[in-house]
């Protein structure tokens, strides 16, 4: 069974940094692209970043480009999101999501439970 467990969320002041982690199990992690998707309280889904299966390719939404960095450690079956220069509008539940296909298809068949990031002074 696929399991994705996010951690690292919390309350942080504007301008500060936070690093999210996602521990994966139940599938061959390095065979799949991975993604971060967020959901602000009471709002819809927003894709923010993706990384290919061997980290050769990454992508970011304009809203986080230059501030957030996605990475993965295939030896540890883990996905990360380094978030710098946080803004109040980054407040959201951050989901780790697994790509559907061997390699990458850019849509998601498994989601973690999410980790809440609150940016506030």
With binding defined as CB under 8 A, does residue 114 bind other proteins? yes
With binding defined as CB under 8 A, does residue 111 bind other proteins? yes
With binding defined as CB under 8 A, does residue 27 bind other proteins? no
With binding defined as CB under 8 A, does residue 106 bind other proteins? yes
Supply the minimum distance, in Å, between the C-beta of residue 17 and other proteins: 23
User: Segment near other proteins (CB under 8 A), from 8-16, 17-25, 46-54, 75-83?
Assistant: 46-54
DSSP secondary structure string for all residues of the chain: --EEEEE--EEE-TT--EEEEEEEESS-GGGB-EEEEEE-TTS-EEEEEEE-TTSS-EEE-TTTTTTEEEEEEGGGTEEEEEE-S--GGG-EEEEEEEESSSB--SSEEEE---EEEEE--
Among 5, 23, 61, 116, binds other proteins (CB under 8 A): 61
Q: Is the distance from CB of 24 to CB of 79 less than 8 angstroms?
A: yes
User: Segment near other proteins (CB under 8 A), from 7-15, 75-83, 84-92, 107-115?
Assistant: 107-115
With binding defined as CB under 8 A, does residue 32 bind other proteins? no
């Amino acid at each position: 069974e696929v399991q994705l467990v996010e951690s690292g969320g919390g309350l942080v002041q504007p301008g500060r940094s936070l690093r999210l982690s996602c521990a994966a199990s139940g599938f061959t992690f390095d065979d799949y692209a991975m993604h971060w998707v967020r959901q602000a309280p009471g709002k819809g889904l927003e894709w923010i970043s993706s990384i290919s299966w061997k980290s050769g390719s990454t992508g970011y939404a304009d809203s986080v480009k230059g501030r957030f960095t996605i990475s993965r450690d295939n030896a540890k079956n883990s996905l990360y999101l380094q978030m710098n220069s946080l803004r109040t509008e980054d407040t959201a539940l951050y989901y780790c999501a697994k790509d559907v296909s061997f390699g990458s298809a850019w849509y998601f068949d498994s989601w973690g439970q999410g980790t809440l990031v609150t940016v506030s002074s």
